Chains A and B, each alone.
Chain A
Amino acid sequence: MEFHIYPDFFVCAPIFLIILEISDKWIGLYFCLILQSICIQNIVCGGVQGLVKYVLKKLLFMLLSLFILASLTFFLMKAIPGDPFTAEKKLSPEIRALLEVKYGLDKPMYEQYLKYMGGILKGDFGVSMRYLNQDVTDMITQTFTASLKLGIFAILISIVVGVLLGLLAAVYHRKLIDDVTMVVAVIGIAVPSFLLASLLQYVFAFKLGWFNVMGFDGPLDYVLPVAALSASPIAFIARLTRSSMLEVLHADYIKTAKAKGLKWPAIMFKHVVRNGILPVVTYVGPMTANIITGSVVIEQIFNIGGIGKVFVESITNRDYTMIMGITIFYGILLMLARFLTDIAYVLIDPRIKLESRKGA
Chain B
Amino acid sequence: MSGTNNKKNETANTNLTSQAAVKPQESVSLFKDAMYRLATNKAAMISLSVLVLVVIFALIGPTSLFTSYNYYSNDLMNANAAPSAEHWFGTDDLGRDVWVRTWVGARVSLTVGLAAALIDLVIGVIYGAIMGYYGGRVDGIMNKFSEILYSLPYMLVVILLLVVLEPSLTTIIIALTITGWISMSWIVRGEIMQLKNRDFILAARSMGASTGRQLFRHLLPNAIGPIIVTLTLSIPNAIFAEAFLSFLGLGVSAPRSSLGSMINDALTGWTLYPWRMWFPAGLMVLTMLAFNLLGDGLRDALDPKLRK
Could you tell me which A residues sit within 8 Å of B by CB distance? Answer: 5, 7, 61-62, 64-65, 68-69, 72-73, 76-77, 79-80, 186-187, 189-192, 194-195, 198, 202, 206, 243, 246, 250, 289, 293, 296-297, 301, 312, 315-316, 318, 320, 323, 327, 330-331, 334-335, 338, 358-360
- Tell me whether A72 and B160 are in contact in the complex, defined as CB-CB below 8 angstroms, given that A189-B288, A192-B244 are known contacts: yes
- Judge whether B263 and A318 touch: CB under 8 Å: no
- Judge whether A190 and B160 touch: CB under 8 Å: no
Cα(A335)–Cα(B288), bound, Å? 29
Sample of 26 A–B contacts (CB below 8 Å):
A61-B147, A61-B148, A72-B152, A76-B164, A77-B160, A80-B164, A186-B293, A190-B236, A192-B243, A192-B244, A192-B288, A194-B243, A194-B263, A195-B284, A198-B267, A202-B271, A293-B155, A301-B267, A315-B159, A315-B250, A318-B163, A323-B160, A330-B153, A334-B153, A359-B189, A359-B190
B270 at the interface (CB under 8 A from A): yes
Name the distance in Å between A359's Cβ and chain B's nearest Cβ.
4
9 nearest CB pairs, A to B: A65-B151, A190-B288, A190-B289, A359-B190, A359-B186, A293-B155, A334-B153, A76-B164, A327-B156
- Judge whether B159 and A327 touch: CB under 8 Å: yes
The count of residues in chain B whose C-beta lies closer than 8 Å to any C-beta of chain A is 46
Contacts of B260 in A (CB 8 A): 192
- Judge whether B154 and A289 touch: CB under 8 Å: yes
Cα(A72)–Cα(B303), bound, Å? 39
The contact string, 1 if C-beta is below 8 Å from chain A, for chain B 280-298, is 0100110011001100100
B106 at the interface (CB under 8 A from A): no
Contacts of A73 in B (CB 8 A): 160
Could you tell me which B residues sit within 8 Å of A by CB distance? Answer: 140, 143-144, 147-148, 151-157, 159-161, 163-164, 186-187, 189-190, 236, 240, 243-244, 247-250, 260, 263-264, 267, 270-271, 277, 281, 284-285, 288-289, 292-293, 296, 306, 308
Contacts of A194 in B (CB 8 A): 243-244, 247, 263-264
Interface residue from A65, A293, A359 paired with B148 (Cβ < 8 Å):
A65
Interface residue from A72, A76, A195, A316 paired with B249 (Cβ < 8 Å):
A316
Cα(A79)–Cα(B165), bound, Å? 9
- Judge whether B263 and A76 touch: CB under 8 Å: no
